[in-house]
Each structure stands twice: as structure tokens, then as C-alpha cells.
Chain A
Amino acid sequence: MKHARTIAIAFLAIVGVACLLPGIFSASDYAHQFRDIPNAAASHEHWLGTDDLGRDRFSRVLYGTRVSLLLAPTAALIASLLAATIGGAAGFLGGWMERLVMAGTDLFLSLPWLFLLITVRALLPLNVAPLTSVIITFALLGCLGWAAAARVVCADASSLRNSDFILLAHASGSGGWRLLWRHLLPNLMPVLYAQFWISIPVFILTEANLGILGLGVSEPMPSWGSLLRELESYSTISSNPWQFVPLLLFILVVSCFHMVVVDRELPA
């Protein structure tokens, strides 16, 4: 298992370097349309061929990976911080506050995510640059994706609140913020880490789903979601097998993230 984790981390590192420095690996701009060669096969100039508008697919995979890999952890961080604040406070305070917050969390969990995202996306201003649209999309994911993690954090904080060492700290005169910062939060960190790592592939998948619906990152900026849209029609993929590369990369990256997370959660 340790070897698998090492391989997963190494793979993620390679992918991370490649997508952080895409200019080294690809000479083409991800947005440039080579209109004379749409849907071109893989070649020396275009390693993964071109898409239906003649854009270099390899370059788009690199930039799309960068978008998804940079912003999914950011969204996961937002969600984890919200979960820590809301779930942690509810668990720490207990009583009616815990019940109220958990009821609110349950309500949030019962909302149909996809429709909520579509609605919120439709309410946003239209005239935004592609980069802003990326940030908006992932910020939305982060702001809407805290509820499940908050439940876990709340349960953990609630059990910590009733533990002996907190009782002892209380008896020793610790209270309020000191109790929270010095005793509770450090003990919640493993749960928060786990929630953070679990959220990353979830957000990548959600953005991909939104992208498939055409509601994710706006053109011409690529993301995994928009790259995977090429696979929605069976009629084209059979003749262009290189269209599967983004899917393959997506599966590998999400699997590697899971491997890293699972290994962190396994007892020593």
C-alpha cells in the first residue's frame, strides 16, 4: 500500500509540474483555432490531435488539468473551512445550537445540488471573463459543498466536547477560545484533512458534470469538464481514440487522490 501511495504521489507530482509549466511541453496556445485542421488525428505538431474547432488537444489537456487541479483544492479548502466553522461550533456548543445547525445542514444536504448550481450560475452576471467564470464556478462549489463535511466535524467535535481531557481542561480554568484553539481544533485536524482530500475529487467530478451540461468553465478556457464533453457523442469517439486521454488522465488523477486519502486514513 505504501508503494502504491508513493506511485500515486509521484504521478500527481508529475501531472502537477506538467500543468503548471504547460509552455514547456506544448508550443500551441490552448485557445488558438487551427481552422484548416479540425478533428485532426494525432501528429508530430499536435500530439493528441485537434478538437472540433482545430484547437490543440494536448495543450488544452495541460491547461484544463491546471484549472481543475488548482481550483478543486481551493474549493475543497473553502468547503473544509466552512465545515470546520459551522460543524465545529455546533459540536462544541452542543444543545439547541447543535440541533439547529444540524437541522440546517440536513436541509442543505437535501437540496438538489445540480439544480441549485444551475440556478445560482444563471443568476450571476453574464459578462465575466473566462478566468472569472472559473473562479466563480469553483467558489460556488466550495460554498455549497460544506454540509456533508460539517456533519462529520460536528459529530467529532461533539464527542471531543464530552471527553475527559476537555473536562480536565475546563476544570483547570480553560474556557472559550483557549479551549477551542488549544484543545479542540488540533484534535479535529485529522478529520478536516480527510474531508479536504475527499472533497477534491468530488469537486473535480462536479465541475466535470457542470461542464458536460455546458455550465462550467466558459470558452475558450479548458477544464476537464469541457474536455470530457467531447465524449458525449459516440459517433465521433470511435474514430478518434485520443479523445479518451482526458478521461484517462481524469480517472488516474482521481484514483491517485483517493489512494493518498485512503492511505492517510489507514491505521499505522
Chain B
Amino acid sequence: MKKHCSRLLIAVLFVLGSAFAQTGGELRFCLRSEPKTFNPLLVEEDSSDTVRYLTAGVLVRLNRQTQQLEPELATAWKTSKDGATITFTLRQNVRFSDGTPFSAQDVAYTFQQLMDPNLHSPLTDQFRPSGGNVQTKILSSGKIAITFPAPIAGLDKLIDLIAIMSGKSPKKEMAVLGPYYVAENKAGAYLVLQRNPNYWKHDSSGRQLPYIDSVRLDIQQNRDLELLRLLRGEIHFVNSIDAEYFDKVMADKPSMAHDAGPSLDSEHMWFNQVAGSPLPDYKKAWFRSTNFRRAVSESINREDLARVAFRGHARPAVGMVSPANQFWFNAKLHPHPFDQASALKRLAQDGFHLQGGVLRDKSGNVVEFSIMTNSGNKYRERMATMIQQDLLGIGVKVNVVTLDFPSLIERITRTFNYEACLLGLVNTDLDPASLMNVWVSSSENHQWNPSQKAPETAWEAEIDRLMKAQASALDDRKRKEYYDRVQEIAWEQEPFIYLVTKNMLSAVSPSVRNATPVVLRPQVYWNIDRLTLHPEVASSK
């Protein structure tokens, strides 16, 4: 009885909370650049992605907090046994921002647009990895089946990226089904999004969402100025900030600072293992040796990297999947320990030996290599300098080279004239399918040795097999089994030496209510339709 009463009380409070949620006001934050497109199917960069997230209506939405799919415009969906067809049951009585009614024809139109070869949508390949046509079949006004040329693993999660467009509205992509629509665009200066009057979602008390009237997005490239504006109260949050700015916020206004824990992004280094690279043969032999890579990995003090380079706002990396990825992370794995004695034993197995404090290979060559990274990224430069000092502990001399980004990309993708590289990988997707282009040996982004005609090592062949198996399996538990094994092989072989996992840091004004920053993008405004502003802020212009 007591339990029943408390549940009732919570429900009543929730309803009352919703009923009295402050509505109105203008939420303000900054974009780092001008959006390049308002067409949601052509989005490639962060600013356009922000506008897409705020304006798009999607069939299903990945809840950024629970990492589970939730119904949106589709009230139900079902994937066929062969994984190639997905059937959606659509929400009724929904209208676009301009009043045009939403129907299954709009879903069909959106997928036709997506697959149009003349549009060159960056999303197309994810739905059609090996070519072929996508078929849409309208079963009724509220039901549609979409058939893809081949089974797609994690198909339902990919649907989160597709903004449904109107096939009938004269406003085309500017007619939206999301919480806001683009009302004003001052090129290079700002955008104003207004509340969609036809947004279908309501809170538990029946009030139409979103609570906030408008969103103003100022174009601000300079991060210092962005932070200053936040501290002055001119904007309401900074979605993602780096460790130094975070410390500044913590010192000045601790209530603004939010650390959501490990992010999905990784910082890692790798050795050039390309057989045809212009490196001397003895260096190629070092870099292709598992013992050498493992020894270098064990000689790097990851705890120090996290504590010093990232001021404690990072943790030693485990491997290719961040612990933030709740389902796919292999929890059996742990970061490689800092153990230089073990590293020297591994090196001795390959004939390396210390001579006068300098490591030499079995032919007597001094072990020396360069690590290049992109100039201007102080965290990577710091990590490279710390690795330089760490590796002196096993007698390895490292030269740190910073290059402008185009030159660096030229070296890692075309000339292969480099020895080791330190970079990061930004992960926006939880599903392993998004990493196929990195881990399959024939891929151009298989950075340590790209575009292999056939796997050059047995462990790469095994990774290829497992990645393809997980991509074609439809049962997530089976997929995870395969992917766990891939993570173990990557941990053992270390083609990428994972260094740290940065924390997801953000700064949010206390005037923004219901903000619970998470690690998945968009970190702060993932629940934009539920955010409210403090009454004083909401009423002031």
C-alpha cells in the first residue's frame, strides 16, 4: 500500500511539474561555423547537424541518455527475419510546421530522395553498402515497408539519422516535423529557430512541447569568446568544452560545469605498417612486430597522460570501444598497464637490447622514430611530448613533429611517408557497423595499413571475418560476441595504441532547467523539447 501511494505521489508530482514547467523565452548558444545546408539529407558537419537535430522529425529516436530506441513518428516498427525490410506503423494526425499533413507518402518520398544518386547524400552508403535499389511499399496511409538490397545490421538505429521531409509542401525541406523550424537566417551571424506550432509531442499534462519559444544560434568560431559570453550570461550553454576551459568554469561558476564521464571519442597512435612505404626495411620490421607495439604501449604512462595532459578529465583508454558505449564495450578488457620492465622483456624476444641506455635492434640499429600529430592541438602535442619522455625509459628516442592537417593527411593517406601518428577518432555512432571502414583491412581508413587486397596478417584476416559476421548477423547478442572478439584481438595486437578516453565536458547555465548533459551528441540539448528556462530569464529578452 505504502509503495503504491509513493508511486502515485511521484506520478502526481511529475504531472504537476510538467504542468507548471516554465514556457517561453529564448535559448541561446553558439555554432562554431555557419551551417552549410538546411537539407537534412546532406548534413556532413556539426553546425548543419545541430540544425537537423533541432528541426528534424524522425521515425525513431535514440534516447541519448538510455541509449535505447524510442518511438517518434513511428509508433511501432518491425525488422524482417532477413534483416532487409523494416515496417513502420506511423503516428496519425501529425502535421508539418507549415500545416501540410504527414503520411506514409512522405516517408517514401524521403527514402527516394535519400537514395537519389543525383543528391549525393552522405547517408546513402550506410543504407546501401553494396549498391542496389531501396524499395518502399505503402501498406496503408499509416504503414510503410522499406526493403533494402541487403540485410543491414543495426538498421533501426540508422533511422535516427533520417529526417522525414514533406513530399507535398511548397516549402520543401524547410517544412519540418521536429520541435523547431528555421525562422530567420542571417548569413554568418545567427539563426533563429521558432517553436513548431504543429509539433506532435505533448507532455504528460497534455501541454504541447517544446517549452521554450525560440532558439538563437550565434555563429562564433572563437572558443574563448564563446566561454566569455557564457560566463557573462549572453548564451546559455557550451555543448562541449575542453579540459582547460572546464577548469576555468569550475573555478568561476562551478554550478555551470558538467562532466558526463568518458566520451565515445578516442585518442590513439599507430605505427605505419604499409609494406610499400618509403621507410627502411628494419623500421618496417619493428612496426609490424606485435612485441614492439605492445612494448611501446606498456611503456606509456596512460594515467599520467590523463592526469597531466587532460588535467584529470580523461581516463586511460581500454581499446577501440569506449566504456561509454554501454552495450558494445567489452567489459573484460582493461587498459594496458604501465610496465617498462615487461616492455623490455617483450623487446628482448625480438632481439632488441639496451646498449649504453639506448635501445638497439638485433642488427644494431638505434631505435628512433618520429611521432607526427596535427599542429594546433595542444592536447595531442602534450601527449606526444609525454610519450617522448616515457619512451626514453626503455631507451627509445622519439622525435615529435607537428604538421598542418592537410600535410598530415597527405602523408597518412597517399605518400605513407611517416613512422608513427597520433590522432583521435570522433565516434558519433554506437553501432560497430560505423567502424567497418576502419577495421576491415580492405578499407581506405584502415589507417596503419590501408586498402589491403588481402589481409596481410592472420589477425587482420580474423578481424575481417568477425566484422563481416557481425555486420550480417541480425541478433544483437550474436553480434556482440563477434565484436567482443574483435576488441580482444585489437587489444592483443595493438595496431592502434589507444591512449586516453576524454571525458565529455560541458558548461550549462543554471537558468536552463531539465538539462542533463550526456556523452552522446548533442550532449546538452538532446532533450531540447523538455528544456525550460528560469522564469526571469524566460521573461527577459
A219 touches B384 (CB 8 A): yes
For residue B105, CB closer than 8 A to chain A, the reply is: no
Q: Which residues of A contact B224 (CB under 8 A)?
A: 233-235
Does the CB pair A219–B244 fall under 8 Å? Answer: no
Whether, in the assembled complex, B65 has its beta carbon less than 8 Å from a beta carbon of chain A, the answer is no
Name the A residues within 8 Å of B368 (CB-CB): 127
The proximity string for A residues 221-253 relative to B, scoring 1 for CB distances below 8 Å and 0 otherwise, is 000000001000111100100000000000000
B402 touches A214 (CB 8 A): yes
Asked if residues A235 and B227 are in contact (CB atoms below 8 Å), the reply is yes
Which one of B151-159, B375-383, B482-490 contacts A? B375-383
Partner of A53, one of B245, B375, B385, B417: B385
The contact of A219 among B307, B388, B403, B404, by CB within 8 Å, is B388
For window 131-185 of A, CB contacts with B under 8 Å fall at: 133
Contact of B528 with A by CB under 8 A: no
- The interface residues of chain B, by DSSP majority, are classed as helix
* Chain A residues within an 8 Å CB radius of B407: 118, 122
* Range for the number of chain A residues in contact with chain B: 20 to 34
Considering the complex, give the chain A residue whose CB is closest to the CB of B303: A35
- A116 proximal to B (CB < 8 A): no
The answer on a CB contact under 8 Å between A220 and B308 is no
Contact A235 B308, CB 8 Å, known A126-B370, A127-B419: no
Q: Which residues of A contact B251 (CB under 8 A)?
A: 239
Contact between chains at B418 and A126 (CB < 8 Å) = yes
Chain A residues near B402 (CB-CB < 8 A):
214-215, 218
> In the complex, are the beta carbons of B308 and A218 less than 8 A apart?
no
DSSP class of A's interface residues: helix, strand, loop or mixed? loop
| A128 in the interface (beta carbon within 8 A) | yes
Tell me whether A38 and B308 are in contact (CB under 8 A): yes
Contacts of B386 in A (CB 8 A): 33, 35, 53
B283: nearest residue on chain A (CB-CB)? A127
Known: A31-B389, A33-B389, A235-B224. A52 touches B382 (CB 8 A): yes
Q: Determine if B399 and A218 form an interchain contact, defined as CB atoms under 8 angstroms apart.
A: yes
Chain B residue contacts of A126, Cβ below 8 A = 370, 372, 399, 401, 417-419
Contact residues of B between 385 and 404, Cβ < 8 Å to A = 385-386, 388-389, 399-404
In this assembly, does A213 line the interface, its C-beta being within 8 Å of a C-beta of chain B?
yes
Q: Bound complex: CA of A31 vs CA of B369, how far in Å?
A: 18
Let me know if B26 is at the binding interface, CB within 8 A: no
In the assembled complex, the Cα of A145 lies from the Cα of B257 at a distance in Å of 48
Residue of A53, A122, A236 near B404 (CB, 8 A) is: A122
Please tell me if the beta carbons of B304 and A35 are within 8 angstroms of each other in the complex: yes
Chain B residues, CB < 8 A from A239: 251
Q: What's the tally of chain B residues with a CB closer than 8 Å to chain A?
A: 37
Give the distance in Å from the alpha carbon of A122 to the alpha carbon of B304 in the complex.
30
Chain B residues with Cβ under 8 A from A233's Cβ? Answer: 224, 244-245
Kindly list chain B residues whose C-beta atoms are within 8 Å of the C-beta of A219.
381, 384-385, 388, 400
Q: How far is the CA of A213 from the CA of B377 in the complex (A)?
A: 10
- Give A124's nearest chain B residue, CB to CB: B401
Indicate whether B36 reaches chain A with its CB closer than 8 angstroms.
no
**A189 on the B face (CB < 8 A):** no
Is B70 in the interface zone, CB < 8 Å from A? no
Residue of A nearest to B305 (CB): A35
Query: Is B247 on the interface with A (CB-CB < 8 A)?
Result: yes
* Contacting residues of chain A (91-144) with chain B, CB-CB under 8 angstroms: 118, 121-122, 126-130, 133
| In-complex Cβ contact of A213 among B244, B248, B309, B376 (8 A) | B376
| A214 cross-chain contacts in B, Cβ below 8 A | 375-376, 381, 402
Most buried by B among A33, A127, A220, A229: A127
A118, A133, A214, A234: residue with the most chain B Cβ atoms closer than 10 Å: A214
Query: Please, which residues of chain A bring their CB within 8 A of the CB of B375?
Result: 213-215
Q: Does chain B have a CB within 8 A of A54?
A: yes
Cβ-closest chain A residue relative to B400:
A219
Question: In the bound complex, what is the Cα–Cα distance between A130 and B307 (angstroms)?
Answer: 26
B240 to chain A, nearest CB (A): 15
Query: In the assembly, what is the distance between CA of A54 and CA of B224, in Å?
Result: 24
A229 surroundings in chain B (CB, below 8 A): 378
CA distance A54 to B386 in the complex (A): 10
**Which residues of B lie under 8 Å from residue A129 when comparing CB positions?**
399
CB of B372 within 8 A of CB of A220, answer: no
CA gap between A38 and B243 in the complex, in Å: 14
Is the pair B404, A118 in contact by a Cβ cutoff of 8 Å? yes
Q: How far is the CA of A218 from the CA of B403 in the complex (A)?
A: 11
Q: Of B244, B400, B418, which is within 8 A of A236 by CB?
A: B244
- A54 to B381 Cα, complex, angstroms: 14
Q: State A127–B411 Cα separation when bound (angstroms).
A: 14
* Cα distance, A214 to B401, chains bound together (Å): 9
With A126-B418, A127-B419, A214-B381 known as contacts, the answer to whether A235 contacts B404 (CB < 8 A) is no
Chain B residue with minimal CB distance to A226?
B381
State which residues 412-441 of B face A: CB under 8 Å: 417-419
Pairwise interchain contact A127-B385, C-beta atoms closer than 8 A: no
A interface, CB within 8 angstroms of B = 31, 33, 35, 38, 52-54, 118, 121-122, 126-130, 133, 213-215, 218-220, 229, 233-236, 239
- Knowing that A126-B419, A127-B419 touch, tell me 8 more A-B residue pairs with CB under 8 angstroms: A33-B389, A52-B382, A53-B309, A122-B404, A214-B375, A219-B388, A220-B400, A236-B248
Can you list 7 pairs linking A and B with CB atoms under 8 Å apart?
Answer: A33-B386, A53-B309, A121-B403, A126-B372, A127-B399, A218-B399, A236-B248
